Amino acid sequence: MDLSQKENKTGHINGINEFYVEVEGFSGPLDLLCSLIESREIDVKKISVSTFVKIYSNFLYNTERASISAISDFITAAAAIVLGKVTALVPVRRKTEEESENEDDVEKELLISEEKLVEMLERYRPYRYASFYLEQLKGNSDLCVKRSLTEDTPLFDLGDLYGIASIWWKYYETLINNGSSKNDPQMFRMDGIPFAIPEEKQVENRMAELEEITEEHEETDLRSILGDSPDISILVVTLLALLEMARLGRIKVIQERLFGNVRIVRNSNAE
Amino acid sequence: MSELSEIATLNENQRVLEAILFISCDPVDVRDLVALLGMRSQEIEKNFQSLQAFYANCHHGLTIRKVAGGWQMTTVNDLADILESYNDDIRRRKIRLSRAALECLAITAYNQPVTRSEIEDIRGVRSERVIDTLLSHGLLRIAGRAKGTGSPLLYRTTDKFLELFGLNAVSDLPTMDELEALSGSDCNGRDGTED
């Protein structure tokens, strides 16, 4: 460090002699001060910010070197000192033991436990072997070449409405003859796959399931209702059902802390 | 089997079955031939077995195999290289399956009907796109919806899956315990290198 002190030009400011400090690697005295504060070599609580601002603004004014760049540096440095001081002066709220434990619980929940990871790998491993086995089977089977399909001519020409209608009619007859679709045609698509149950119906069904659970247990929680690995759609339907039941006053939904488990308590006052 | 291996010529029924196999692209289901040939299914099955033995004993360029519940005529496996060199189309027709696709097929084959979330639960990764690819290849099919909340789609393997892997039925696959035993000799090397 190269320190140099110059003679006082303007006399005293609030009883303190004006002096210049030039330090290598620092753009000015406040920059150095910030660095010392950050490295905790100077306690920010003991610094009078107003005095320093006064000294430095006078220094800039009297030296006639107050370029825009110098002023912006000054504002940045002063802001850093003020922020440091505010942080140092405002008392830090100590976390209670319970809060610390809760945070630990959340972290534990986010991390997959070693046992669970081992369990997952154990379950996955045979299927990995099975995939290797299938690969071998396919390799052997690929060596046997079967007759390939030649491209058939289309069953109807463009504009051949009779041809299209015939195919459609045949398809419709197949559908009608299908026993499962005959029972409830509204529940099945043309390819025989049932439609998804409407969301409102799913919520109603879920509410009925939850009613049964709350009748059996006066208090339960969301985690036990959802099980180990809930599907997102199940979670959404369950939450909607719980909200509706809470709105109807059948249950109380309580979450005591953020991201904590949700307690579901049967409302004994409900009819 | 010794009786079958002694066949020198084909009888009339076997000749018909041979011709049907020759023109068919897909495995021939015995039930479809009962009315046509006026024979009982067991009888047709026996004739197919005789035909299979005949081809096996004649050192033929073709073979008869039972896949996906039906009978199919294909070329023998030791001629694969020369056939691919003769006809590029044979190589192009082959379906290439990624490790993820094979895993999804394995999980479905052993647990069917199975939902997407069950597949993902075992694999530990999202498998939506892999399942879509397998559906588009016709190796998986939608087999309805699971009862209960969300009513997710259920998936099953198809006859094309059996045909592609040269299986007659899913039950031909080894059990999980047998796989563990097989993995010791065949899969360990690859398992270690890929992990």
- Cα–Cα distance measured from residue B108 to residue B141, given in angstroms and rounded to the nearest whole number: 10
Please name which of A18, A3, A4 lies closest in space to residue A60, comparing C-alpha atoms.
Answer: A18
Considering only A106-110, B43-47, B81-85, which range has the smallest mean pLDDT? A106-110
Cβ neighbours for B121, distance < 8 A, ≥ 6 positions apart: A229
Cβ neighbours for B19, distance < 8 A, ≥ 6 positions apart: none
Tokens of A67: 């370029």
Assess: ipTM above 0.90. Answer: no
- Predicted local confidence at residue B135, as pLDDT: 92
Q: Do A129 and B80 touch (CB under 8 A)?
A: no
The pairs formed by A38-44 with CB atoms below 8 angstroms and a separation of 24 or more are A38/A84, A43/A88, A44/A81, A44/A84, A44/A85, A44/A88
Q: Regarding predicted confidence, which is higher, B153 or A172?
A: B153
Q: Do B65 and A196 touch (CB under 8 A)?
A: no
Q: Do B24 and A120 touch (CB under 8 A)?
A: no
What average pLDDT does the segment B51-68 reach?
92
Q: pLDDT 10s per residue in chain A (271 long)? A: 343 444 344 444 444 455 555 555 555 566 667 677 767 677 777 777 777 777 777 766 766 656 666 667 777 777 777 777 777 777 666 666 666 666 666 666 656 677 788 888 888 888 988 999 999 899 999 888 888 765 555 555 666 777 778 778 888 887 777 655 555 555 555 566 667 777 777 888 888 888 888 888 888 888 888 877 667 778 888 888 888 888 888 888 888 888 888 889 888 775 5
CB distance from B109 to chain A under 8 Å? yes
Q: Work out the angle at residue B152's Cα, subtended by the Cα atoms of residues B146 and B157, and round it to the nearest 5 degrees.
A: 75
- Predicted local confidence at residue B187, as pLDDT: 47
- Give pLDDT tens digits for B165-184: 999 999 999 998 888 777 76
CB distance from A234 to chain B under 8 Å? yes
Which residues in chain B have their CB less than 8 angstroms from residue A233's CB? 149-150, 152
- Predicted local confidence at residue A170, as pLDDT: 81
* Out of B65, B124, B165, closest to residue A124 by CB: B124
CB distance from B135 to chain A under 8 Å? no
Q: Which residue of B has its CA nearest to A205?
A: B149
CB distance from B69 to chain A under 8 Å? no
Q: Which residue of B has its CA nearest to A122?
A: B122
Please name which of A115, A139, A142 lies closest in space to residue B190, comparing C-alpha atoms.
Answer: A139
Which residues in chain A have their CB less than 8 angstroms from residue B187's CB? 128-129, 132-133
CB distance from A183 to chain B under 8 Å? no
- Predicted local confidence at residue B1, as pLDDT: 47
Using the structure block, give the residue that is written with the tokens 């899969």: B187
Q: Regarding predicted confidence, which is higher, A8 or B19?
A: B19
CB distance from A134 to chain B under 8 Å? yes
